[in-house]
Amino acid sequence: MHDLHRERMSAGETRAAGSLALVFAFRMLGMFMVLPVLATYGMELAGATPALIGLAIGAYGLTQAVLQIPFGMLSDRIGRRPVIYVGLVIFALGSLLAAQADSIWGVIAGRVLQGAGAISAAVMALLSDLTREQNRTKAMAMIGMSIGLSFAVAMVVGPLLTRAFGLPGLFLATAGLALVGLALVAFVVPRSSGLLVHRESGVARQALAPTLRNRELLRLNAGIFILHAILMSSFVALPLALVDRAGLPKEQHWWVYLTALFVSFFAMVPFIIYGEKKRQMKRVLVGAVLVLMLTELFFWAFGYGLVELVVGTVVFFTAFNLLEASLPSLVSKVSPAGGKGTAMGVYSTSQFLGAALGGILGGWMYQHGGLGGTFIGCAVLLALWVAIAGTMREPPYVTSLRMPLPEHALRDAGLGDRLLAVPGVTDAVVVAEEAAIYIKFDTQTVDRAAIEALVNPPSNSGDA
């Protein structure tokens, strides 16, 4: 048995993960709160058309996609905090610009500026600086949960805030949340002893080309692109369907989303457990995409009453949340040793591009084809994803490990080959400039302690 105390997160690590998860949550809350309300309240803005509403919904994704990786690389050079501070200020300024806008173009400009505060990669890199390798997965999971929770809260709070204070009040609240995030980074997030530039926490230039050529990763990137495209497109159509088809006043939409998100959160858990425990993630993924496609067709054919729309929304969010939770885990499994940071950077960029295109496409489809055209368009996109996901291989069920290497191990030319000879080890890469080794292994076949003992035998290891 290896030392369990070492596996527990320290008070500093817990504080770092918790506070950075909140920074992420507050920022994403501001991004997501407009989704359920812009299609209904936004039509009152000067110059608003369905196509421009769609552009306003997805506009943040354009700048976010373009700037996310460069901001992450900049944080390696000048430090994490300056990049995060500047990003949150830009986000707050975008929110203020949208709050004082009286035309749809003002809101679009505000959303574009919001997206320019692209701090995701810098926050993840700061989290890596502040946590030990063995606790990093837990810390990343806390951030993942905070994003999911912020989405759920946004779906409910967005309509309630907008009902009380209108769209300007919603955007002012978003600016306030960005400033709370700034205060958290300044006063609550612990100081790091230095930058930990490594391949699991950020984009490595040398890993970019192999990542872009990896067919399994490309399938997952296409998946998250389509998932966020249909989310944004659906939120051009769904709020309007609740008003026009079901006669539900826009002020009451919050309870539909609350019901859907509450039920879907519990409904998706058994599928995640089944996929991981039975090693059937491909089946779960393809099944969830098929369910999403059928839900869009259901909205098109039967979504004319309140009961049908609420049931459809519950099923939609169950499949959506299942995919949103599963895809990052699959990227982590499929990416080569030492390539996870780069793979996640490209994956996030694909996600934001999907959001941008989805908003634009949803608005255009609604303007030219009405609600039915939008739902059919989403179903076609999902049919394309079914074809892409159907050709994927079952992912390897492996865990990633990064271990610092002492001088003698770095000089050991045969270390990687010896590790690869161990049953259950699927990949091992020594990165000399980091004095570290990246290993991927199957925990059902070999345990972490055995790998650590092989890399750093007890007679040679220090206290680390």
DSSP type of residue 6: G
Q: What is the mean pLDDT of residues 245-255?
A: 94
Q: For residue 199, what pLDDT band results from cuts at 50, 70 and 90?
A: low
Q: For residue 459, what pLDDT band results from cuts at 50, 70 and 90?
A: low
Look at residue 452 in the predicted model and tell me its pLDDT.
83
> Lowest mean pLDDT: which of 3-7, 337-341, 376-380?
3-7
Q: What's the CATH number of domain 12-192, 3.10.20.30, 1.20.1250.20, 1.10.3720.10, 3.40.50.620? A: 1.20.1250.20
Q: What is the mean pLDDT of residues 382-391?
A: 96
What lies within 8 Å, CB to CB, of 457 at 6+ separation is none
Q: For residue 317, what pLDDT band results from cuts at 50, 70 and 90?
A: very high
How does DSSP assign 284-340, residue by residue?
Answer: HHHHHHHHHHHHHHHHHHHTTSHHHHHHHHHHHHHHHHHHHHHHHHHHHHHSPTT-H
Q: For residue 168, what pLDDT band results from cuts at 50, 70 and 90?
A: very high
Architecture of domain 399-455: 2-Layer Sandwich (3.30)
- Six token digits for residue 447: 């345990």
Give the position of tokens 């929110």: 95
Share of the chain above pLDDT 70, in %: 95
Look at residue 5 in the predicted model and tell me its pLDDT.
44
| CA 366 – CA 372 distance, rounded (Å) | 8
Express each pLDDT in 253-308 by its tens digit.
999 999 999 999 899 989 989 998 899 999 999 999 999 999 999 999 999 999 99
So where are the chain's domains? 12-192, 205-397, 399-455
* Residue 462 pLDDT > 50: no
* Residue 100 pLDDT > 50: yes
* Residue 409 pLDDT > 60: yes
8 Å CB contact between 140 and 21? no
Same fold, 12-192 and 205-397: yes
CA distances from 275 to 3, 28, 97, 283, 326 (A): 30, 28, 44, 8, 9
| CA 241 – CA 238 distance, rounded (Å) | 5
Look at residue 456 in the predicted model and tell me its pLDDT.
78
Look at residue 453 in the predicted model and tell me its pLDDT.
84
Please state, rounded to an integer, the average pLDDT across all residues of the chain: 90
Look at residue 460 in the predicted model and tell me its pLDDT.
46
Q: For residue 135, what pLDDT band results from cuts at 50, 70 and 90?
A: confident
Express each pLDDT in 217-244 by its tens digit.
999 999 999 999 999 999 999 999 999 9
Look at residue 337 in the predicted model and tell me its pLDDT.
81
Look at residue 374 in the predicted model and tell me its pLDDT.
97
Per the model's pLDDT, the better-predicted residue between 289 and 204 turns out to be 289
Express each pLDDT in 428-454 by its tens digit.
888 887 888 888 898 888 888 888 888
The predicted model scores a pTM of 0.89
Look at residue 434 in the predicted model and tell me its pLDDT.
81
Backbone angles phi, psi at 46, to 5 degrees: -60, 135
8 Å CB contact between 95 and 30? yes
- Six token digits for residue 315: 């099923």
Q: Tell the CATH topology of 205-397.
A: Growth Hormone; Chain: A; (1.20.1250)
